[in-house]
Amino acid sequence: MGDVVNLNKFRKENKKETVGKQAKENRIVFGRTKQDKNRDTLATEKTSKSLSGKKLKNEDGSTKDPKK
């Protein structure tokens, strides 16, 4: 006769393997390195600083609302 197999243990191991494979694929597709994140942060900061210097000011010193 064959060996007795615990099906719950087999299912758990199988699920763990599939979740691990999916996680590996997600890291490849969606993963960003620390350098990428830092570069994007610096670019955003540079853009905001550049734009903040170009705001129009009213006579009272407040910034002008372009929608009005």
Sequence-separated (6 or more) residues with CB below 8 Å from residue 58: 64
Q: Which of 1-5, 8-12, 19-23 has the lowest mean pLDDT?
A: 1-5
Q: What is the pLDDT of residues 25-51, one digit of tens each?
A: 999 888 888 999 999 999 999 998 888
The number of C-alpha atoms within 13 Å of 65 and in the hemisphere containing its C-beta is 2
The larger pLDDT score, comparing residue 21 to residue 66, is at 21
* The pLDDT of residue 68 is above 70: no
